[in-house]
Amino acid sequence: MPFTLRLHRVLKAPPERVYRAFTDPAAMCKWLPPHGFTGTMHHMEPKVGGSWRMSFTNLSAGATHTFGGDYLELQPGQRLRYTSKFDDPNLRGLMTTTVELTPVFCGTEMQITQEGIPDVIPSQACHLGWQESLALLTQLVEPDIPNG
């Protein structure tokens, strides 16, 4: 039975910068792969109806898994909704990720809901991977580098 994951963070960065980290191919490759993985973006067209496709490679074992999906909703600085599907037939199902960004006095409150995660992925592994990815996202978006 597929499961749903909910995550919450407050980031010391404006919503527009956090949103950009989800829609810039180089940024996604920098923060989304959890520790021990590298990321390659094969295609990214961040517009409603557009698609994206990337892969993670395990640095230790060299194994690669590829996944991608479609953009369902894009409200700059506010909200993203997109689908994800693994190429691996053992990881069946269509996941939907919703990212909601709300400006707050110290930056951005971020709510992430990922629905339809294949049950063959242990929920603890999914939580751990997202925690690592969000730590990397924080490191990417929080520095305010002028004229950089």
CATH superfamily label, 3-141: START domain (3.30.530.20)
Cβ atoms 66, 87 nearer than 8 A: yes
Half-sphere exposure of 98 (CA within 13 A, CB side): 8
pTM attached to this predicted model? 0.95
Q: Give the helix/strand (H/E) hosting 11.
A: strand 3-11
Residues 6+ apart with CB under 8 A from 53: 41, 42, 43, 44, 66, 67, 68
Domain segments of the chain: what residues? 3-141
- pLDDT per residue, tens digit, the chain (148 aa), is 789 999 999 999 999 999 999 999 999 999 999 999 999 999 999 999 999 999 999 999 999 999 999 999 999 999 999 999 999 988 888 999 999 999 999 999 999 999 999 988 999 999 999 999 999 999 999 999 988 6
